[in-house]
Structure 1
């Protein structure tokens, strides 16, 4: 028989006394239960009872908790239960996180990317779970299902397909960032997101010679573009600008005397739709770079022919003087590389070309980071690939050091 079942009631002066715990009748007619706990302190029930039997049953439950080792002070338990009831779900906390990121000044493109990843791959599985209740095993299960295409179903042509490394990795990194914020804001004690292999980058394709254009190919690509957009090829290849930076460039950003360009803006797509100009991808992206003399001559000619006199005028613009939409630019670029027989060459490959050649001319990692607007050494190092031509040139130089047999 348990502790509570062995209690003996003794009544005296409106007080029902037991071998353990007591029940007191209040003036209101309600019953107040209390007992002396294992910590030596007296604990009151967090509520009063309409009948003595209800108060006694509460004491019986408390006695049972003590007997089985599951006891904690009633007021502490009530606070924990209330906190559990008020604890946000992953979906609720995600909205708070989005608000916090927006207030902190994160770009619309970043917010849109996070929302897309959560909506497609995270919230359908974890959205209704409370943040504090999600365990590492839950995250592991989500990750396994994500990789095999069943979380939620990744349908390609009606068939479930595993997601690419890029898709799973970005979803995992977004989830890890979210849970770090939850920990900082006391929504949980530790992050359950701890899968080291999940954040490893495995390139879909290895950068090969075909994706490092030759100077002649760059020239041909510029010639294949409409006259008003040819300058974009020169800026991307030899000034190493990103597409969004090229399309957001304004006349006032070009210093004709110093022959430099101040890169401080980039196009992005706001959450509400459309396109707009905003800060560069990172603080490191805000930079002043020198323009090669030949490219400067091409840029001067373009400014005279196609750009307005106002400093705020876009270097390249649509017929109405506004931004060239990235989708429109993409279609024009595709026609250009197709006409040059350079299938699959992306506009970003021009930037890669310029940074690779910049490295071949002896640029240090720090100089590469500044030129490309990179914030991490790892990213800058990706642009130090050698082309086959450079490899052959170095081999010929090394030939003089080889002792003939």
Structure 2
């Protein structure tokens, strides 16, 4: 076992692998390739024969349990692997245009310059924690700097930090599937989770004020966005043929998406599903009045245009809504709150989770559940109000402790 002649090394054989001593005096382990090909050397040399045999035993055990990974597969630089991951559509094989642009920006700005210079197989949980902490400090410092134009400072960078971490975690999940790492090194609890504040419910009084403060040619858009629970891009992308006044339904097929490279592009909806929404009668009446006030058009024509005849754009609708909420002192609302409040009203009217999913175009029940919770809270208020009215009518004062 002590041979050191490279041309005639001492070799021991086992059922799975072999061990031999090299000219340097160190020991090499060899075992079959995963695809059944010729034996390959282990990823490193060992000081003793025993260490080499232990390595072989561990490889054999890990392969039997389906958890083995060859560290040499992880020699590709993280930045290069991440770029290929984006180009191949991420973990699902397809990324939305804006998601692709976001990931490319995160890669260039926050990953490639530092942790991206490491080989995928070298990334450890400690490295990820160090990178994550440093990124948080960098973004916070950047947010604290005064803007050159004297405007308000940017946000704290927490969202950006979360996005970068979630992106890295997704890349490393695929690296694990590819056998480049044994486990995902992104193990910071809660770091990639979205923590969004509950949006305010828009009472009908506030909705009416916002609606009436919009220009006359935009009021139908606001009415339909509320009644059909539309995202801003969906409202702008509607066509005449999507609205069926006889049935009182609206078909939502596409959205207008703002991109950095190509400007505004038309894509399928966010969940890539088509949905048909039964409209409230009030909304149908508003659409009848609107179509009666504009020239007839082909079914493929845009549903909404400005009074000048030009097609409505995302920027125009966003600007008009912001101007409307400022003029009515209802600055707490965003355009998306029209959708949120319309769905909450649907839940209060008795819509089930499945029905809310269909109206909203949600792909999972978890997104629709928050509207059910809102309905339950409203139900308690209604019940309390009923109780007060009943006590008054029945002349029964409330019990005291």
What's the TM-score, normalizing by structure 1?
A: 0.75
Partner of 2:93: 104
Q: 1:113 aligns with which of 102, 127, 136?
A: 102
Aligned mate of 1:261, from 236, 250, 264: 250
Aligned match for 2:125, one of 136, 145, 153:
136
Once residues 74 and 111 of structure 2 are traced to their aligned partners in structure 1, the CA distance between those partners, rounded to angstroms, is 22
User: What secondary structure does 1:266 align onto?
Assistant: strand
1:404 aligns with 2:387: no
Distance across 2 between alignment mates of 1:133 and 1:86 = 7
Tell me how far 1:154 sits from its aligned partner. 3.4
* Whole-angstrom CA distance in 2 between matches of 1:237 and 1:67: 72
Deviation, structure 1 residue 294: 1.7
Hey, what's the Cα distance between the residues in 2 that align with 1:356 and 1:161?
Answer: 31
1:179 is paired with a residue of what secondary structure? helix
CA positional deviation for 1:318: 5.5
Larger Rg: 1
Q: Could you tell me how far 1:385 is from its partner in structure 2?
A: 2.4
- Give 1:131 shift: 0.9
Alignment of 1:142-221 (within 5 A): 142-147=131-136, 149-150=137-138, 154-157=142-145, 163=156, 165-203=158-196, 205-207=197-199, 211-221=200-210
Deviation at 1:179, TM superposition (A): 1.4
Q: 1:59 aligns with which of 11, 23, 35?
A: 23
1:358 aligns with 2:324: no
Indicate the residue corresponding to 1:125 in structure 2.
114
Distance in 1 (alpha carbons) for counterparts of 2:379 and 2:3 = 89
Aligned residues: 353
The aligned counterpart of 2:33 is none
Q: Aligned-pair distance for 1:123?
A: 2.7
Can you list the C-alpha shifts for 1:296-349, whole angstroms capped at 9, x where unaligned? Answer: 121122234346521111112357866533233221211111222212321111
Name the counterpart of 1:34: 8
User: Which residue matches 1:232?
Assistant: 221
Partner of 1:343: 331
Where structure 1 has 5 or more consecutive residues not aligned to the other structure, the ranges are 4-18, 24-32, 46-57, 74-81
* Contact kept? 1:221, 1:340, Cα under 8 Å: yes
Q: 1:354 to 1:293 in 2, by over 3 A?
A: same
* 1:247 aligned partner: 236
User: Does the CA-based 8 Å contact 2:74-2:180 persist in structure 1?
Assistant: no
1:272-291 superposed matches below 5 A? 272-283=261-272, 285-291=273-279
Give the Cα separation in 1 of the matches to 2:46 and 2:74.
Answer: 27
Give ranges in structure 2 of 5+ residues lacking alignment: 29-44, 56-69, 148-152, 392-396
Separation of aligned partners in 2, 1:388 and 1:190 = 42
Deviation at 1:125, TM superposition (A): 2.6
What is the CA deviation profile of residues 2-55 of structure 1, one whole-angstrom value per residue up to 9, with x for unaligned ones? x9xxxxxxxxxxxxxxx82446xxxxxxxxx3312343899999xxxxxxxxxx
Match of 2:3 in 1: 20
- Give the drift of 1:108: 0.4
SS of corresponding position for 2:111: helix
Could you tell me how far 1:163 is from its partner in structure 2?
4.0
Structure 1 CA distance, aligned partners of 2:142 and 2:279?
A: 46
Aligned to 2:297: 309
Question: 1:121 touches 1:151 (CA, 8 Å); kept in 2?
Answer: no
Secondary structure of the residue aligned to 1:316 is coil
**Any conservation in 2 of the 1:250–1:311 contact (CA below 8 Å)?**
yes
The 1-side partners of 2:18 and 2:100 are apart by 52
Question: Whole-Å Cα distance in 2 between the matches of residues 350 and 391 of structure 1?
Answer: 23
How far has the Cα of 1:233 moved from its partner? 0.8
Q: Residue 288 of structure 1: CA displacement?
A: 0.5
Question: TM-score, normalised on structure 2?
Answer: 0.76
| 1:160-189 C-alpha deviation (Å, 9 max, x unpaired) | 999454333332222221212222233333
